[in-house]
Amino acid sequence: MLTLPASLTVYVATQPVDFRRGAEGLALLAKETLGHDPMKGVAVVFRAKRADRVKISSGMAAAL
C-alpha cells in the first residue's frame, strides 16, 4: 500500500495518449500541456486509446 502526501495534486487526462511514449515523453507532455512539472508534487494519469490501461507520471515514481 502506498501512502500519498496530502500536497500531491492528481490530474486525469481526458484524451487518450500514445502509450509508446516512455516516462520522459509523458512527463514532457504533461509539462507542455498543463504547465505543471510531474517532478514537483503533481501526478498525471494518462489513458490508452481503448481506455483499458493507464500510466501515471509522477515524481514519486522516480522515488519508487
What's the pLDDT score for residue 13? 85
Q: How far is CA 3 from CA 7, 8, 28, 59, in A?
A: 12, 11, 25, 14
pLDDT in the model for residue 50: 86
Task: Please state, in angstroms and rounded to a whole number, the distance separating the CA atoms of residues 19 and 52.
Answer: 12
Give pLDDT, residue 22: 83
Amino acid at 6: A
From residue 52, how far is each of 19, 48, 60 by CA, in Å?
Answer: 12, 7, 23
The one-digit pLDDT tens for each residue of the chain (64 residues) are 778 788 888 888 888 988 888 888 888 888 888 776 667 778 888 898 888 888 887 765 544 4
Look at residue 60 in the predicted model and tell me its pLDDT: 54
- Alpha carbon distance 39, 53 (integer Å): 22
